[in-house]
Structure 1
């Protein structure tokens, strides 16, 4: 068998192995087992349905800014229009974009329109990323825990008692350590 024939068989085997690996489904392909972490990208002003409910025609620009925040886009050519745009990009989920526009007549809010905005609870539920870290402990103390915390310990006298005033403070024990450096000769 000649050397050229040996190299052509080796090359054909490598090409065939690559083709077989490339044709495997994503479940079998080891390249797809590890995916890089991709950060959620949140851009713009999120406006909740609760904020939209607070808008009333006749509000001043400052009042609208207090409710919705500073607009993402305020054009010099459209001074009576503020655009609020919010985009959420997450790994494995289609990009979501919400737009809301408020129109002014002078300094007064004339009208407002845009996409149906989610409530704050709905938005937070969208951010939930299926990773459950365990049950959240209760953040309130029970009545028994509050009563136990109120009781002074028997070893410690009350602040105004004679035993607390008469007893001198305990002196801490001092420990002597050798010097860090050797004495100079």
Structure 2
């Protein structure tokens, strides 16, 4: 005799099985996975600290004051009471579609003057840094020029010149309502 499940219990068992399958799928998902290959969960972009590029580090020279270093590199992420002669610039970024980055730059001071600037790894140039966090898909390799060529400039219509009467007439005076009633 076959085992028969009542109709109400069958729906409950089916729902429980679906729930278990869903939960097991969620627990096996890694952070880079997408659901069914179609939907990728949104991940917030986390940026902390100031980015220090190769050009910025080259502008900082030993002997500069703390204010000059702050003007070039920005405010440090960490200033420690116990290490008053040390500023730590720590930069982290986690962006969807790009590799996470962590950089540490330390400025050491003698009193109010910069002694040296250290970095754990080689700092990127500004263009290399922008390229490393750029997640937009380029449609084509060509970019539009930002300036007009000489031929394009000559093809533009000449600006309209004003006659003597129009140029000398001042614009009408503006009137504003009183501020107090």
If the length of structure 2 is used for normalisation, what is the TM-score?
Answer: 0.67
Cα shift at 1:103: 0.7
SS of 1:83 mapped into structure 2:
strand
Deviations, residues 87-133 of structure 1 (Å, cap 9, x unaligned):
10112555321111111111111122123221111110012114235
Q: Partners of 1:14 and 1:107 in 2: how far apart?
A: 69
RMSD: 3.4
What residue is the counterpart of 1:151 in the other structure? 158
What residue is the counterpart of 1:126 in the other structure? 132
What is the total number of aligned residue pairs between the two structures?
155
| Larger radius of gyration between Structure 1 and Structure 2 | 1
Query: Gaps (5+ residues) in structure 1?
Result: 166-185
What residue is the counterpart of 2:109 in the other structure? 104
Q: Partners of 1:101 and 1:17 in 2: how far apart?
A: 53
Find out whether 1:47 has 2:49 as its counterpart: no
Cα shift at 1:49: 1.1
Q: Partners of 1:37 and 1:51 in 2: how far apart?
A: 33
What residue is the counterpart of 1:177 in the other structure? none
Contact residue 98 and residue 132 of structure 2 kept, 8 A: no
What residue is the counterpart of 1:175 in the other structure? none
Q: Partners of 1:148 and 1:142 in 2: how far apart?
A: 10
Query: Gaps (5+ residues) in structure 2?
Result: 166-181
* Matching residue within 59, 62, 65 for 1:60: 65
What residue is the counterpart of 1:87 in the other structure? 92
